[in-house]
Amino acid sequence: MSTLDKVLNKREAETTRITVLGLLINIALVIIKLGSGFLGNSRALIADAMHSFSDLGTDIITLIGVKWGSKPADEDHHYGHQKIESLAQFLMGLFLVATAIGIGFSAGKAIYFHEVNHPGLIAIFAAALSVVSKEVLYRYTIKVGDRWKSQTIIANAWHHRSDSFSSIAVLLGVGAAYFIPSLGILDAYASILVSFLILKIGMNTMISGFKETVDTAPSRKVVMHLHKIVADFPGVTDHHNVKIRPLGSSLCLTLHICVKDKLTVEAGHEISVELKEKIMRSIPSIIDVLIHVEPHSSCSKGNCFYKSSMGNIYK
Ligand SMILES: [Zn+2]
Ligand SMILES: [Zn+2]
Ligand SMILES: [Zn+2]
Ligand SMILES: [Zn+2]
């Protein structure tokens, strides 16, 4: 095994370990907060437990998505299995939105009819435990993310910190309600705050899952970058019919290129293979490219990239 392989293995082992640790802590927090929320009579803590549950769901979908989605294409799924991940993401988002509405509605009702809860001490302990464990997890995760320069891990770390802030809001609401019984309604207000957080996470999850499911094209920036790579490629006289679609969190691409009329089939194919490699190197999220090669004379029927207004940018 080369030194580079060893380093890469260590990177994967450490980033996987921190992801699994985050997942285990989320499982523990869901159980502890849900139990203490019911026993300790706190809406805010139950809402925060659902927030941890949403984090857990995202972790699990990511792990399953990586495992299941990376299953190769087979007889009945010619494009692979990544769409399953997108669909699961959409359903998870839908579930979270429904949960957030449920929690928000119940808390709103409590405030309107002034149904005051009197949370027990156990709810305070559970909220404090949540704050501390998420803050510790943040510090540990950000260290691993910085060491291996992993954007995913760094994003995860910041999510842990935002979880810890959400639990601080719960701790304040529950604490005030416990120590000053006349402020008991603050528990419901903290619960509304958390329900907005869950709503936001749910909407984002739902929208990104939906966009992937219905093949929404990537941003214009990515498309223009691609056009430039193809237009500048030696041997390609023009191109058209560029189609990009998401596959899980990756992208698939088909396009037509035009080459000189008298080129041999072999030479034309050679250009397409080199162009494919160049595209996949330049835009790493593109994992598959299908290129159709045609002679320039049959190609220039007015739909080519250079003849369109977009093409003028590079003239
Ligand atoms: Zn299959
Ligand atoms: Zn969260
Ligand atoms: Zn064509
Ligand atoms: Zn080929």
pLDDT tens across 91-117, in order? 888 888 998 998 898 889 888 988 887
User: What confidence score (pLDDT) does residue 307 get?
Assistant: 46
* 218: phi then psi, degrees, rounded to nearest 5: -70, 175
**Nearest-ligand number for the alpha carbon of 79:** 1
Q: Which residues surround ligand 1, an ion (CB under 5 A)?
A: 74, 76-77
Residue for token digits 């294409």? Answer: 73
Tokens of 239: 């191109």
Cα(223) to centroid(ligand 3), Å: 18
Are 169 and 190 in contact by the 8 Å Cβ rule? The answer is yes
pLDDT in tens, 235-268: 998 898 899 998 877 899 999 999 999 999 999 9
Cα(279) to centroid(ligand 3), Å: 19
Are 26 and 156 in contact by the 8 Å Cβ rule? The answer is no
User: What confidence score (pLDDT) does residue 70 get?
Assistant: 65
Q: Closest Cα partner for 99 from 140, 62, 56, 156?
A: 56
Whether residue 18 has pLDDT greater than 60: yes
**Nearest-ligand number for the alpha carbon of 295:** 3
Whether residue 309 has pLDDT greater than 70: no
Tokens of 12: 């994967």
Torsion of CA 233, 215, 290, 239, to 10 degrees: -40
Whether residue 214 has pLDDT greater than 50: yes
Whether residue 57 has pLDDT greater than 90: no
Mean per-residue pLDDT, 193-203: 88
Which domains, ranges and CATH numbers included, belong to the chain?
3-213 (1.20.1510), 220-314 (3.30.70.1350)
Cα(296) to centroid(ligand 3), Å: 10
Task: Report the chain's mean pLDDT, rounded to a whole number.
Answer: 86
Cα(46) to centroid(ligand 4), Å: 56
Q: Closest Cα partner for 206 from 38, 301, 90?
A: 90
User: What confidence score (pLDDT) does residue 215 get?
Assistant: 92
Instruction: Quote the radius of gyration of the chain (alpha carbons, Å).
Output: 26
Are 256 and 221 in contact by the 8 Å Cβ rule? The answer is no
**Nearest-ligand number for the alpha carbon of 71:** 1
User: What confidence score (pLDDT) does residue 306 get?
Assistant: 57
Cα(211) to centroid(ligand 1), Å: 22
b/e burial code for range 209-230 (CB count within 10 A of at least 16 → b): bbbbeeeeebeeeeeeebbebb
Whether residue 177 has pLDDT greater than 50: yes
User: What confidence score (pLDDT) does residue 278 get?
Assistant: 96
Q: Which residues surround ligand 2, an ion (CB under 5 A)?
A: 55, 163
Cα(308) to centroid(ligand 3), Å: 14
CA–CA separation, 151 vs 161, rounded Å? 15
Cα(114) to centroid(ligand 4), Å: 70
Cα(270) to centroid(ligand 4), Å: 8
**Nearest-ligand number for the alpha carbon of 194:** 2
What is the chain written as a DSSP string? --HHHHHHHHHHHHHHHHHHHHHHHHHHHHHHHHHHHHHTT-HHHHHHHHHHHHHHHHHHHHHHHHHHHTSPPBTTBTT-SHHHHHHHHHHHHHHHHHHHHHHHHHHHHHHHTT------HHHHHHHHHHHHHHHHHHHHHHHHHHHHT-HHHHHHHHHHHHHHHHHHHHHHHHHHHHHSGGGTTHHHHHHHHHHHHHHHHHHHHHHHHHHHHTT----HHHHHHHHHHHHTSTT--EEEEEEEEEETTEEEEEEEEEE-TT--HHHHHHHHHHHHHHHHHHSTTEEEEEEEEEEHHHH-SS-SGGGSGGGGGG-
Mean per-residue pLDDT, 114-140: 91
**Nearest-ligand number for the alpha carbon of 72:** 1
User: What confidence score (pLDDT) does residue 154 get?
Assistant: 80
**Nearest-ligand number for the alpha carbon of 55:** 2
Which class for 231: exposed (0-12), middle (13-18), buried (19 or more C-beta within 10 A)?
Answer: middle
Cα(59) to centroid(ligand 1), Å: 23
Cα(260) to centroid(ligand 3), Å: 14
Q: Helices 3-39 and 151-179: crossing angle, nearest 10°? A: 20
User: What confidence score (pLDDT) does residue 119 get?
Assistant: 87
Residue type, 52: S
Mean per-residue pLDDT, 75-98: 84
| pLDDT level of residue 78 (50, 70, 90 thresholds) | confident
Q: What is the ipTM of this complex?
A: 0.71
CA–CA separation, 297 vs 304, rounded Å? 12
**Nearest-ligand number for the alpha carbon of 292:** 3
